[in-house]
Structure 1
Amino acid sequence: MVDQKTPADAPRASARPGGAPALRERLTRRKPVEKLVAETEGAAGAGLRRHMGFWQLSMIGIGATLGTGIFVVLGEAVPVAGPAVVLSFVLAGITALFSALAYAEMAGMIPASGSAYSYSYATIGEFMAWICGWCLMLTYGVSVAAVGVGWGQYINELLHLTTGLSLPSAVLAGPMEGGLVNLPAAAVVLLSMFALLAGVRESSRVNAVMVTVKIAILVMFVAIAATAVQDGNFAPFMPLGMAGVSAAGATLFFSYIGFDSVSTASEEARNPQRDLPRAIMFSMILVTALYCLVAFAAVGALNWTDFADGETSLAGILTGVTGTPVWAVVFAAGAVLALASVVLVVLYSQTRILFAMSRDGLIPAAFSKVDANGTPRLNTVITSVLIAVLAALIPLGPLADATAIGTLFAFALVNVAVLVLRRTRPELPRTFRVPGAPVTPVLGVLACASMMASMGVSVWAAFAGWLVVGLAVYFGYGMKRSALETADGVAARP
């Protein structure tokens, strides 16, 4: 039963009797944890259907995380760290683990599809929750477009390996890059849209197949490359010192972004309190193990000085080891599926964040309407079409880099949420508890802040521009229509 006492996270009363709440009260009003939990249990008639168990949730986490990083970033990190890139993956994984632990505790306690947005709403207040949600829009939306662009490059690579032909540049780049339209990038987003429209059951099955395939091709790479591992390729192990290991670790940290997608499936999980924390931790452990194995096999089979930046370094190693391009073709085909699964899962996560924000009244109600199958159909179509246009026409540049800041900001807020609820609501049931709190969440905040501070001026400029737009939307639309704007919890409408 819900505690009849007024909880510490309940909305505060108006500072102006008989009138509208003061601005400060409106910005810091919080959504009670009990209300969030009640909504996830269907008390508010949300309409989402609970179909997913532990394995489906784990496939979401692995599908969103295991992709661009290992297929692209490894080739950029090896020249920085040398053979010690394996340690760089461990370092990046430990850094990401701080936030993963925080997500696990919050997801088990507040199984809401809004993820970090909902956690912030319950602990820090509406304004910071809006900023968090706005950052997540940037993170998910632009990253889907960016991965779509990478998917087009792999499609072109696969075509070249199998037929010797290549797609014309006019359909591989948008008009701002000298082309006409990036058709493959738009196509993979729209294909993912149709998979999501088919329903959660069907799209989760498609994702499970793609995740299984990409795990299989990475295991295949390790098995083949391991036959060519030479001890001499590991000496010197740390040619650029610990500074190189740390620098590569900062680059590789973004290979772990995606585990948070598990929490956006909270309201479609059969047993979220039990399965969400387990799925988050399992996906992190599996991804870290695969990353380290692939990195070990790669630098063991090819001297670190021979690594060149590029997206096909792993495929190139297979060709060099076997003396035939056949395995490179298999690997490139697997990479196409790998990146497609990232697009599918991250697009899914984007629609669920928007669903939660719409239910709270901060964005139009159309985004929280679901069909008979429990699918937010209009939300999915609008989001997918906008992202497909972004991927097809606009070069991402610094905006894509700004997604990293948005992600780190959300991660930091989740760590803060753990600290706040440990202090204000210690009695709340927790199916998972962050070990070493409050030290661990504090380290999580510091790790995120450190990485944000290391980013360039152009990235911060793009991020600041996005925040300015977000502030205009919140003060012009969201704040007045918030479901907490009126005392009875019904969103105020013009």
Structure 2
Amino acid sequence: MKLRSTVNRQVSVEMGQSDAIEYVNINDQPSSPRVHGTRKVSILPLIFLIFYEVSGGPFGVEDSVKAAGPLLALLGFLVFPIIWSVPEALITAEMGTMFPENGGYVVWVSSALGPYWGFQQGWMKWLSGVIDNALYPVLFLDYLKSGIPALGNGLPRAFAALALTFVLTFMNYRGLTIVGWAAVLLGIFSLLPFVVMGLVSLPKLEPSRWLVVNLGEVDWNLYLNTLFWNLNYWDSISTLAGEVDNPKKTLPKALFYALILVIFGYFFPLLVGTGAIPLDRDLWTDGYFSDIAKVLGGVWLRWWIQGAAAMSNMGMFVAEMSSDSFQLLGMAERGMLPEFFAKRSRYGTPLIGIIFSASGVVLLSWLSFQDIVAAENFLYCFGMIMEFIAFVWLRIQYPAASRPYKIPTGTVGAIIMCIPPTILICVVLALSTLKVAALSVGAVVIGLVMQPCLKYAEKKRLMKFSTSAELPDLHGPEQESVDSLPE
């Protein structure tokens, strides 16, 4: 026990942590700054928060059928998780338990590549998340406009989007525990009508419809962007690690169960919709599941699907905003952003981070669905490349560092695991339009300039920056390797 304690302390120093401040043992609370009077998130709400960070149900997958037909759509949601979702979830489990604090992937990249690139990671992933969040009011209204035509365009749509943004932002302000349990209820309500739709569709299923494919008419850009958008963001939950009850045990389990839930939530509705209804690819766009529900079950099922879609988009909005706003808080606690971003409300929520994230959603809500998906995918790809580099680099540089959950692969296995998703990232980037690429690269350049400007403001004392004393030092002097300890 004494030798183990010595090894753990040495590993902490090797990772740049001081001997006085370490990440706690697996059975204790994380070393993120504690907020008295706030409850931690338990495993069930955490599963559904991950579910909403990534998916929220099959709403938004319709374009995969429009782009490629039933067979490729179904195969995509079986194969793509293996190529992308599983590696991303595994890396999130390992790195999230290694650094159980609200900075999440910002801390991972900062610890491996330095604070400058950690800031770039935070900027790109936050902006990607805000762009992603701008989708949900759009999808919410798209599912309701067939029943309420006034929400299709014009001032009524604009006012409805603003009102929805305000209500959901207020929910985030009231506390993450409320958001977590709301996600559980919304998740059950969102998935249940598809189970019912599957039952009523049984007499009408024709398996031959699942095999329809025409490779000459595939819109690969739309197809891959739709798959990518619907199956990424597993790492977003890492920015809430400091708010989770015993994250070193809870986070890996929650990611595993959420992965199963997400794949089922996509594949089963697509199986029903493509097998029970004659194919018309032009009709397969966001909101089409409600039309399928009307054909299969009647108006009552259509309204249930529309209500479920609305609730699902609410769940995705609050989960994404929680991740985005706590990321800003975590960056402020690390001294990357001005101190006022670390300010919490009386409910323990990041007040300034919520305001900034909500403002970004409102400013970006004018973009079309396809532009939003493509732009956030582009920025997300850049961020994921840095995460893969950080993951591999920390495996190489600090193989003996404490990892409460460790992917059962060596260094070579870790590198090999990152190759398929990296190739996929390159394909997604290559298929981006010039407009999306230009906007995204412009956003990256802003981040490259912003960090030195913030450092200048800190040096001139134009803004106050501070690093929480409760967090371990990521960039201290390197120490002797743990392998050199005496037996």
Aligned to 2:446: 469
2:245 match: secondary structure: coil
Aligned to 1:318: 293
The answer to whether residue 151 in structure 2 is matched with residue 167 in structure 1 is yes
Single out whichever of 265-274 and 244-253 deviates more from structure 2: 244-253
1:232 match: secondary structure: helix
What TM-score comes out, normalization by structure 1 length? 0.82
Aligned to 1:195: 171
The answer to whether residue 432 in structure 2 is matched with residue 455 in structure 1 is yes
The answer to whether residue 40 in structure 2 is matched with residue 64 in structure 1 is no
Single out whichever of 237-246 and 210-219 deviates more from structure 2: 237-246
- Equivalent residue letter for 1:170: G
The answer to whether residue 418 in structure 2 is matched with residue 441 in structure 1 is yes
- Equivalent residue letter for 1:441: C
- C-alpha contact (below 8 Å) 1:217/1:331 kept by paired residues: yes
1:71 match: secondary structure: coil
Distance 1:34 1:61 in 2: 33
Aligned to 2:266: 291
Distance 1:469 1:269 in 2: 32
Distance 2:97 2:151 in 1: 47
- C-alpha contact (below 8 Å) 2:333/2:339 kept by paired residues: yes
Aligned to 1:129: 118
Aligned to 1:327: 301
Aligned Cα root-mean-square deviation (Å): 3.2
2:102 match: secondary structure: coil
Deviations along 1:14-41, one digit per CA (max 9) or x if unpaired, are xxxxxxxxxxxxxxxxx88996847x95
Distance 2:249 2:30 in 1: 18
Aligned to 2:314: 340
- Equivalent residue letter for 1:215: L
How far is 1:364 from its partner?
1.8
Deviations along 1:352-388, one digit per CA (max 9) or x if unpaired, are 110111112222211111234322223323432x135
- C-alpha contact (below 8 Å) 1:117/1:129 kept by paired residues: yes
Single out whichever of 247-256 and 53-62 deviates more from structure 2: 247-256
* One of 78, 84, 90 as aligned partner of 2:78: 90
- C-alpha contact (below 8 Å) 1:142/1:403 kept by paired residues: yes
| 1:21-100 map, 5 Å | 37=23, 45=33, 47=35, 49-67=38-56, 70-96=58-84, 97-100=86-89
The answer to whether residue 210 in structure 2 is matched with residue 231 in structure 1 is no
Distance 1:137 1:329 in 2: 34
Aligned to 1:408: 381
Aligned to 2:194: 218
Aligned to 1:421: 394
The answer to whether residue 345 in structure 2 is matched with residue 371 in structure 1 is yes
| 1:201-212 map, 5 Å | 201-212=177-188
How far is 1:336 from its partner?
0.4
Deviations along 1:58-98, one digit per CA (max 9) or x if unpaired, are 11011222237x22332443451333421111122122222
The answer to whether residue 391 in structure 2 is matched with residue 432 in structure 1 is no
Single out whichever of 219-228 and 182-191 deviates more from structure 2: 219-228
Between the aligned residues of both structures, percent identity stands at 18
2:337 match: secondary structure: coil
Q: 1:42 to 1:310 in 2, by over 3 A?
A: closer
Aligned to 2:146: 157
Q: 1:327 to 1:64 in 2, by over 3 A?
A: same
- C-alpha contact (below 8 Å) 1:152/1:172 kept by paired residues: no
The answer to whether residue 232 in structure 2 is matched with residue 257 in structure 1 is yes
Distance 2:342 2:258 in 1: 28
* One of 303, 327, 345 as aligned partner of 1:353: 327
- C-alpha contact (below 8 Å) 1:143/1:400 kept by paired residues: yes
Distance 2:89 2:176 in 1: 24
**Runs of 5+ unmatched residues, structure 1:** 11-30, 161-165, 174-181, 490-494
Q: 1:446 to 1:380 in 2, by over 3 A?
A: same
- Equivalent residue letter for 1:65: V
How far is 1:225 from its partner?
2.9
Distance 2:155 2:254 in 1: 39
Deviations along 1:200-222, one digit per CA (max 9) or x if unpaired, are 22222222211111121232232
Aligned to 2:362: 389
Distance 2:355 2:224 in 1: 37
| 1:301-316 map, 5 Å | 301-305=276-280, 308-316=283-291
- C-alpha contact (below 8 Å) 2:15/2:401 kept by paired residues: no
**Runs of 5+ unmatched residues, structure 2:** 459-464, 474-487
Distance 1:34 1:317 in 2: 61
How many residue pairs end up in the alignment? Answer: 450
Distance 1:78 1:220 in 2: 24
Aligned to 2:461: none
Distance 1:431 1:149 in 2: 40
How far is 1:396 from its partner?
7.6
Aligned to 1:26: none
How far is 1:347 from its partner?
0.7
Distance 2:217 2:64 in 1: 17
How far is 1:271 from its partner?
0.9
Q: 1:307 to 1:314 in 2, by over 3 A?
A: farther
How far is 1:344 from its partner?
0.7
